[in-house]
Amino acid sequence: MYNSMEKLTIKQCEQTDVEKITHLQPQGWEDITYYFRFYCKQTFCYPIMAIYDNKIAGVANGIITGKTGWLSHIIVSHDYRRKGFGNKLTQHIIDYLNSQGCKTQLLIATEMGEKLYEKLGFKKVSSYCFFRGSKLNIKVNDENIRPLIQPHFEPLLQIDREISGEDKRQMLESFNSKGWGYFDIDSQELTGYYLSDIGEGLVIAKDAISGTELLNLKHSFKEGKAVLPDENEDGKKFLTSNGFQNYSKASRMILGEEIKWKPNLVFSRIGGFYG
């Protein structure tokens, strides 16, 4: 392991490198090159590669959102596992996020990765439940739901901050071009939103009615995967009552200061890279 570490170098990933990482694609994951192209374009992202014997042995990414940072897409080639490369990549991102003032660091861990992150100081604080199902044919409530426009963005950010405990302005600004909001008929207040273009389709809402109506909207467009925190009983009940099957879980882990979030009001996460 010592000799391996001597030969290992870490460099920032550039756009021209992205097509060279296809051999790292894990089975069952969404196309990693799509995400690394995004990471390479954003100033709040820090994509890196581990180079060993002039080959890309692994990748990772850090996302900075104010005092909160996320670690994502930590992947090591099958050929180079059990050599400490995953540890090295993770520690590099941890150190970078610390240098950028991130008091809290978060990630979503597979069962295989959870033990590695525990050794680096992360602790489990929640679980995400994975559901699989078909497209829904329930009538969408078009009286309360309408497309989001620019004046809705600040109220959307306020809802997100209250529920996620984070300032995700830069991330959400990159993806708010296509989305829908749930509005109270009397007050016209925005009480929830669905952004279809960000990861798996983010659904955040202040109450169960807004959240499940937007979840219905999401799955009236497309079948497939739904992932939400284990604490969201209303969301899980809606999915199971409409034929979705819970097939897996993953751990939400934290390093550093706790943050106040409301997992019961997250009806669909962004993705494995950002909760």
For 21-34, the pLDDT digits (tens) are 999 999 988 899 99
Look at residue 218 and tell me if it is in a domain. Answer: yes
**Mean pLDDT, rounded, of the chain:** 93
Which percentage of the chain shows pLDDT scores above 90?
A: 80
What is the distance between the alpha carbons of residues 244 and 171, in angstroms, rounded to a whole number?
Answer: 29
The string of pLDDT tens digits covering residues 47-98 is 999 999 999 999 999 999 999 999 999 999 988 888 889 999 999 999 999 9
Look at residue 187 and tell me if it is in a domain. Answer: yes
The answer on 261 and 142 residing in a single domain is: yes
Mean of the pLDDT values across residues 243-272?
96
Report whether 214 contacts 192 (CB < 8 A). yes
Residue 7 binned pLDDT confidence (cut-offs 50, 70, 90): confident
196, two tokens:
């279809």
Q: Which of 86, 102, 118 is the last residue of a domain?
A: 102
Pairing state of beta strands 104-109 and 68-76? Answer: parallel
Query: What is the extent of the structural domain holding 153?
Result: 131-268
pLDDT higher than 50, residue 253: yes
Residue 175 binned pLDDT confidence (cut-offs 50, 70, 90): low
Instruction: Give helix then strand counts, H and E, for the chain.
Output: 8, 13
The string of pLDDT tens digits covering residues 211-225 is 999 999 999 987 778
Q: How many domains does the chain have?
A: 2
pLDDT higher than 50, residue 2: no
Residue 235 binned pLDDT confidence (cut-offs 50, 70, 90): very high
CATH code of the domain containing 59: 3.40.630.30
pLDDT higher than 80, residue 137: yes
Residue 161 binned pLDDT confidence (cut-offs 50, 70, 90): very high
What is the distance between the alpha carbons of residues 62 and 69, in angstroms, rounded to a whole number?
Answer: 7
Report whether 182 contacts 213 (CB < 8 A). yes
Which element (helix H / strand E) includes 73?
Answer: strand 68-76
- CB within 8 Å of 61: residues ≥ 6 apart: 13, 35, 36, 39, 45, 46, 47, 48, 71, 72, 73, 74, 93, 273
Mean of the pLDDT values across residues 243-256?
96
Look at residue 28 and tell me if it is in a domain. Answer: yes
pLDDT higher than 50, residue 232: yes
Residue 176 binned pLDDT confidence (cut-offs 50, 70, 90): low
CATH code of the domain containing 236: 3.40.630.90
Look at residue 213 and tell me if it is in a domain. Answer: yes
Q: Which of 49, 82, 102 is the last residue of a domain?
A: 102
The string of pLDDT tens digits covering residues 96-130 is 999 999 999 999 998 888 998 999 999 999 999 99
- CA pseudo-torsion sign 225, 227, 230, 232: negative
Query: Residue 107 in 3-state DSSP?
Result: strand
Between residues 263 and 199, the one the model is more confident about: 263
**37 closest CA partner among 53, 54, 20:** 20
Look at residue 274 and tell me if it is in a domain. Answer: no
